[in-house]
Amino acid sequence: MKISDLGEFAFIDRVSKGSLHRKDGVIAGIGDDCAVFRVSDHLAILLTADMLIEDVHFRRGEIPAELLGRKSLAASISDIAAMGGTPREAFVSIGIPENFETEYLDKIYGGLNSIAAEFEINVLGGDTVLSPDRLVMNVALTGEARETEILYRKGAMVGDIVFITGEPGLSSAGLDLLRNNRDFANKELFLAAHFDPVPQTKAGRILASTGKAHSLIDISDGLAADLGHICGQSGVGAIVEINKIPLAAELREYCRQFRLDIENFVLHGGEDYILLGTAPEKHSPDIESSLKSGGCRYFPIGRITDGASLTLIAGDGGRQELKLRGYDHFRK
């Protein structure tokens, strides 16, 4: 069977079987934004990794080298944010084509160190190897969290409010703009969202320290797909009201101007790196106030339900099943 027939998520399920060979210390293995292991009575270490391959995840002539460096670390910082942790130590492996210009590499590392400095992350090492023709990077990142505060995908409960911490769809609008070479007045906003996303560690820490949220994930595959991950791992369903999802005015304008379906960006666009979580309705006001006091945003967009389906309440009040069309790296 080809990997393209099996698909990414079935492959990950397959890989996660038979992967634990020691019982002590492991809190969570494959299947969440980070793995979690215990190092002392209260302290847990989070671990995540992101691999970026040229011509798959980025095009060298398209993304400025500094921003490639920033984005390579941003994705992993967002995974730590999605567990409620604090990012700590980065490990960067890089495969470099033989004739690569060192100036380009200096810019990548300059960008990487700039975001590392902003988040007080140390770049402690990695591996440096030759790659035949494409640049390849892997960032592994550790984080710290109190074991009792960590937020998982699997904690959603029936009746929970579903919330997000920002406006989704801007990153995928940036990609759409690039791929279709569109001219648009506010294109810098979309390009920044796509090339230089801001991981929400502050929102993640606030949510974890309140102890009131039930589950959390970052939107990397798309709102629908990532809500699907929460529902799948929690054994629940969800209803989302499209009217409650915050829509950036620029995205509305972009979709109007080029006659594009805004729901596609908002529900299925990836790499937004905003947080998506669930919490009991009674705690929703407290969570909202904690997030807003910290300069973060909070938008309740739906509710966790019985069953296993994701239902969308459209603008006209009609209901439809929300399709899970998040990005699968292998399937077309």
Restricting to residues 53-72, name those near a second copy by CB under 8 A. 53, 55-57
Question: Reduced to 3 states, what is the DSSP secondary structure of residue 273?
Answer: coil
Q: Which of residues 103 and 316 has its CB atom nearest to a second copy in the complex?
A: 103
Alpha-carbon distances of 300 from 33, 110, 140, 165, rounded to whole Å: 22, 38, 32, 9
Tokens linked to 190: 């979309």
Instruction: Work out which of 71, 74, 99, 185 binds a second copy, going by CB under 8 A.
Output: 99
Q: How far apart are the C-alpha atoms of 283 and 302, rounded to whole Å? A: 15
d(CA 215, CA 313): 22
Closer of 126 and 280 to a second copy (Cβ): 126
Near a second copy by CB under 8 A, which window of 8-16, 170-178, 234-242, 311-319? Answer: 8-16
* Burial degree of 279 (CB within 10 A; 0-12, 13-18, 19+): buried
- Sheet harboring 310-313: ordered strands across? 215-218, 275-279, 161-164, 299-305, 237-241, 310-313, 319-321
Binding string, residues 109-138; x marks residues near a second copy by CB under 8 A: x---x--xx--xxxxxxxxxxxxx-x-x-x
> Using the 8-state DSSP alphabet, how is residue 153 labeled?
G
Our finding on whether 198 is near a second copy (CB under 8 A) is no
Cβ closest to a second copy, residue 109 vs residue 184: 109
d(CA 232, CA 191): 32
**Nearer to a second copy among residue 98 and residue 321 (C-beta):** 98
- Enumerate residues 6+ apart whose C-beta is below 8 A from 63: 71, 195
The region of 101-109, 145-153, 203-211, 262-270 touching a second copy under the rule CB under 8 A is 101-109
Nearer to a second copy, 31 or 64 (CB): 31
Query: Within 15-34, which residues bind a second copy (CB under 8 A)?
Result: 15, 18-22, 25-26, 28-31, 34
Range in contact with a second copy (rule: CB under 8 A) among 6-14, 177-185, 189-197, 278-286: 6-14
Q: Which of residues 142-181 bind a second copy (CB under 8 A)?
A: 142, 144
Tell the smallest beta-carbon distance from residue 277 to a second copy (Å). Answer: 20
